[in-house]
Structure 1
């Protein structure tokens, strides 16, 4: 089985959209996908409404909402999808794990755990 890793360290909805596009494409090819949300990227996993004003023009032109893509990615990906919330970032920012949406997060771990998990990945991408 093929495997890729994706690191999301930006809070931009556009970066999340690119990561989810790549993730969905990989799933369509039966490729395992590990997504590591760290630093500002961890905000995508927070519970609550998300600000998409930065990409509103793209949404108006028909681009799918990246948060809907993230929901579908986790819900439909099954065993091929792992989404990791960075515990080091949570600790540094003094955020409580309960603020993270459990429906989007399959694992809480640090960078060492992610690196070990993608050690046999074909490629690792960053957004």
Structure 2
């Protein structure tokens, strides 16, 4: 089985959309996907309504909402999907794990765990 890693370290919904597009494409090819949310990217996993005003013109032009894409990615991906909330970033920002949306977060771990898990990945992408 093929495997890719994706690092999301940017809080832009556009970056999340690119990561989710790649993730969905990989799933369509039966490729395992590990997505590591760290630094500003961790904000995509927070509970509550997400601000998509930055990409409103893209949404109006027909681009799917990246947060809907994230929901579907986790819900439909099954065992092929792992989404990781960086525990080091949580500690640095003094955020509680309860602030993270369990519906789209499958694991809490630090960089060492991510590196171990992507050791067998064919490629790692960053958004």
TM-score, structure 1 as length reference: 1.00
- The answer for unaligned runs of 5 or more in structure 2 is none
For the pair 1:7 / 2:7, whether they are aligned, the reply is: yes
Structure 1 segments unaligned to the other structure (5+ residues):
none
Query: RMSD of aligned C-alpha atoms?
Result: 0.2
Separation in structure 2 between the aligned mates of residue 115 and residue 31 of structure 1, nearest angstrom: 18
In 1, the alpha carbon distance for the partners of 2:28 and 2:78 equals: 12
Which residues of 2 match residues 13-32 of structure 1 at below 5 A? 13-32=13-32
| TM-superposed deviation, 1:39 | 0.2
Report what 1:40 is aligned to: 40
- The number of residues matched between the two structures is 127
Aligned to 2:53: 53
| 1:4-59 alpha-carbon deviations (Å, 9 max, x no partner) | 00000000000000000000000000000000000000000000000000000000
The CA distance in 1 between the partners of 2:68 and 2:102, in whole Å, is: 15
Q: Distance in 2 between matches of 1:66 and 1:56?
A: 11
Q: Structure 2 length as normaliser, TM-score?
A: 1.00
Counterparts of 2:120 and 2:64, CA distance in 1: 31
Distance 2:120 2:85 in 1: 20
- What residue number does 1:114 align with? 114
Q: CA deviation at 1:115?
A: 0.4
